[in-house]
Amino acid sequence: MRNSKMLRALLGTVCVFAFNGQILSAQQKAPSSPAQVHVVITDMALRTDSELPRLRQDEVKVKEGKTFLQVAQLIPAQGDNAPLQLMILIDDTLDPVIGGNLNDIKEFIKAQPPSTVIGIGYMSNAGVNIVQNFTADHELAVKAVRLPRGGFSAMDSPYLSLISLAKGWPQQNVRREVLMLSDGIDRLRGETPAPSRLGPNYGSVYHSVPTISVDSNSASEISQRYNVIVHSLYAVGVGRAGRSSWDLQQGLSGLSKIADETGGECYSLSTSNLVSFKPYLERFQRTLDNQYYLVFLATPKKNAGLQRVRIQTEVSNSEIAAPDNVWVPAAK
């Protein structure tokens, strides 16, 4: 009898452990709550001769792989939601011959609405020399614009400068955008060996023609991480690299890559200096005038990180420019 009671008690204990184990297993397998993701998108017209209607929430689709994600909100960046922080970055390695075009930049700054605060910075030494912090006094911003120095520093990389800016940019619930004037040439990494994998001395022989800067990848990812949209105006820099068709093309490719992946635009006339910035700044203004705050629900993973999404619309004459990746917090 005593053995029978002990057996029943033991079986009861085992059942309790098994039941608790099932609860723990169910908790571990329970799906994570969806995470709200906020991103700025731009509705771009396929044809400029046609009117661009306002997008509706049900007209925007967000896909992760083959899965459609729920769109929670679509808010036009207008009225009370119009505030914009725009940082204009000028590469100090640019040829000062662009001086005449800087008047177009000044006129663009003067034409900005009061809801846009503008900062002016010059890129050199892998950082940014901020000569004017964000200000709603656009005349102050205009006065801060000067000619690029047209010379070299110890570490000239527009990508490292962009990374420095993005990481130090205080988080606020407004649009955060950059307009870079640069040739995109990474003069810091330009002397990095780029050996052929098929060569007999792989890894030890220097070749003079580098590929697109590896730091452009990092600059793109960090800009997407901090919701910074990057646009570029192409201009030619000084030195031998500024006369090398290969370097020029690689620089333009780096600028185009970052603009495309962050949801911005790269304005260029191939690798030639633009005759005037004005028509490109007018296009840039149309971009700023047709932006939206998009909120959708993503599936968080164990660790926070960038997740690939595609944001699209089937509205006639519309094409959405948006970041390729969005930052999703870790599952709770």
| pLDDT, tens digit (0-9, with 9 covering 90-100), for 29-47 | 556 789 999 999 999 988 7
> What are the distances in angstroms from CA 167 to CA 91, 128, 188, 221?
19, 12, 20, 11
- One-letter amino acid of 274: L
Q: What's the pLDDT at 199?
A: 52
Are the C-beta atoms of residues 62 and 68 closer than 8 Å to each other? yes
Residue 60 pLDDT grade (very low, low, confident, very high; cuts 50, 70, 90) = very high
φ/ψ of 198, rounded to 5, equals -100, -5
Digit-coded pLDDT (tens) for 308-319: 999 999 998 899
Are the C-beta atoms of residues 85 and 40 closer than 8 Å to each other? no
Q: What's the pLDDT at 26?
A: 44
Digit-coded pLDDT (tens) for 69-115: 999 999 999 999 999 999 999 999 999 999 989 999 999 999 999 99
Return the ∠ at Cα 179 (arms to 92 and 98), rounded to 5°.
Answer: 45
- Rounded mean pLDDT of 178-191? 89
Residue 18 pLDDT grade (very low, low, confident, very high; cuts 50, 70, 90) = very low
Digit-coded pLDDT (tens) for 186-197: 998 765 545 545
Q: How far apart are CA 38 and CA 327, in angstroms?
A: 9
* CATH for the 83-289 domain, from 3.30.590.10, 3.10.180.10, 3.40.50.410, 3.40.50.720: 3.40.50.410
Q: Is residue 24 pLDDT above 50, yes or no? A: no
Helices (H) and strands (E) in the chain, counts: 7, 15
Digit-coded pLDDT (tens) for 257-266: 999 999 999 9
First to last CA, the chain: 50
Q: Is residue 248 pLDDT above 80, yes or no? A: yes
> What are the distances in angstroms from CA 245 to CA 38, 236, 249, 258?
40, 11, 6, 20
Q: What's the pLDDT at 171?
A: 87
Q: What's the pLDDT at 198?
A: 54
CA 162 from chain centre, in angstroms, equals 10
Cβ neighbours, 10 Å, residue 156: 25
Q: Is residue 175 pLDDT above 80, yes or no? A: yes
Helices (H), the chain: 2-29, 102-110, 138-144, 158-168, 215-225, 245-262, 278-289
| Mean pLDDT value across the chain | 87
Residue 27 pLDDT grade (very low, low, confident, very high; cuts 50, 70, 90) = very low
Q: Which two tokens stand for residue 218?
A: 């990092």
> What are the distances in angstroms from CA 101 to CA 71, 87, 136, 184, 234?
41, 18, 23, 18, 12
Digit-coded pLDDT (tens) for 208-218: 556 788 899 99
